[in-house]
């Protein structure tokens, strides 16, 4: 008798439990602006003006299609090309676009970092409350809750 290939496994390993992390909704406008900035890096005023014209043409073509009329990303890309065109028009001749020196980009990065820090602080606070709630539940099961000393934030943990 021959052995089947590949050999059968007798015990299957259970899959690791997956915890769904909260996700931010997709911001199509932000994606469009970032795509424009990546593409525009190192471009001079003439190249950005040509890209702006291409983007205007694409917007005009998209307006003729019902499913593309509400395209948030396309409008954001066009607005970003227009902003970059104005930025380089005001810059000295021969300047090229660099997102690292763009004040709008730096402000956005600072705002995103601040928002991420706020989200992280909220997650840490929720974890502390959950841990205290577990501790209070264990004390309750041991009938020792009346001897526990209250701490700051116990109201939220008890809720």
The ranges of the chain with pLDDT < 70 are 1-22, 145-159
Q: How many domains does the chain have?
A: 2
Q: Could you tell me if residue 17 is inside a domain?
A: no
Peptide bond into 6 cis (omega under 30): yes
69 and 109 share a domain?
Answer: no
* pLDDT tens profile 42-68: 999 999 999 999 999 988 888 888 777
b (16+ CB within 10 A) / e for 125-146: eeeebeebbeebeeeeeeeeee
64 and 93 share a domain?
Answer: yes
Q: Residue 53: what pLDDT?
A: 96
- Longest distance between any two alpha carbons in the chain, whole Å: 83
> Which of 69, 99, 129 is where one domain is finished?
99
Per the CB < 8 A criterion, the answer to whether 155 and 132 are in contact is no
Q: What is the domain extent for residue 72?
A: 27-99
Q: Residue 136: what pLDDT?
A: 76
Q: Which two tokens stand for residue 60?
A: 């005009």
154 and 112 share a domain?
Answer: yes
55 and 94 share a domain?
Answer: yes
72 and 39 share a domain?
Answer: yes
DSSP string, 113-141: HHHHHHHHHHHHHHHHHHHHHHHHHHHHH
Q: Could you tell me if residue 55 is inside a domain?
A: yes
Q: Residue 62: what pLDDT?
A: 83
Q: Could you tell me if residue 80 is inside a domain?
A: yes
Q: Residue 126: what pLDDT?
A: 84
**Length of the chain measured in residues:** 159
* pLDDT tens profile 106-117: 999 999 999 999
Q: Residue 150: what pLDDT?
A: 66
108 and 144 share a domain?
Answer: yes
Q: Residue 36: what pLDDT?
A: 95
Q: Residue 82: what pLDDT?
A: 96
> Which of 49, 78, 99 is where one domain is finished?
99
């Amino acid at each position: 008798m021959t052995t089947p290939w590949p050999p059968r496994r007798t015990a299957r390993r259970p899959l690791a439990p997956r915890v769904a992390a909260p996700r931010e909704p997709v911001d199509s406008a932000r994606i469009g602006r970032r795509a424009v900035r990546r593409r525009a890096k190192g471009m001079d005023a003439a190249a950005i003006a040509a890209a702006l014209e291409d983007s205007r043409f694409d917007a005009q073509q998209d307006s003729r299609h019902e499913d593309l009329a509400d395209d948030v990303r396309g409008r954001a890309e066009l607005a970003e090309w227009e902003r970059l065109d104005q930025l380089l028009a005001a810059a000295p001749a021969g300047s090229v676009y660099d997102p690292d020196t763009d004040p709008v980009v730096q402000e956005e990065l600072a705002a995103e970092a601040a928002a991420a820090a706020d989200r992280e602080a909220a997650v840490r606070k929720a974890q502390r409350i959950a841990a205290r709630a577990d501790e209070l539940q264990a004390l309750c099961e041991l009938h020792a809750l009346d001897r526990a000393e209250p701490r700051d934030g116990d109201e939220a943990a008890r809720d």
